[in-house]
Structure 1
Amino acid sequence: MHLCTAEEWATAQRCGAHRPPSLTGVGFVHLSTPQQVHLPANRLYAGRTDLVLLRIDAARLASPVRWEPGVPGDPDGMVFPHLFGELPADAVIRVTPYLPSADGSFAPLI
Structure 2
Amino acid sequence: MIIHLTTKTDWETAQLLGEYRAASLESQGFIHCSTAEQILGVANSFYQGVPDLILLWLDPARVKADVRWEAPIHPSASPADATPEENESNLFPHIYGPINLDAVVEITAFHPDQDGVFRHVRS
TM-score in same-fold range (> 0.5): yes
CA contact (8 A) 1:68 1:80 kept: yes
Q: 1:1-110 maps to which residues of 2 (within 5 A)?
A: 1-71=3-73, 77-107=89-119, 109=121
Identity of aligned residues (%): 41
2:62 corresponds to which letter in structure 1?
Answer: R
Moved more, 54-63 or 1-10: 54-63
Q: CA RMSD in A?
A: 1.9
CA contact (8 A) 1:63 1:84 kept: yes
Query: Unaligned 5+ residue runs, structure 2?
Result: 75-86
The normalised TM-score by structure 2 is 0.80
2:26 corresponds to which letter in structure 1?
Answer: T
After TM superposition, where is structure 1 displaced by more than 3 Å over at least 4 residues in a row?
none
Deviations 1:45-90 (A, max 9, x none): 1132310000011121111111111158xxx531100001111112
SS of match in other structure, 2:16: helix
CA contact (8 A) 1:53 1:95 kept: yes
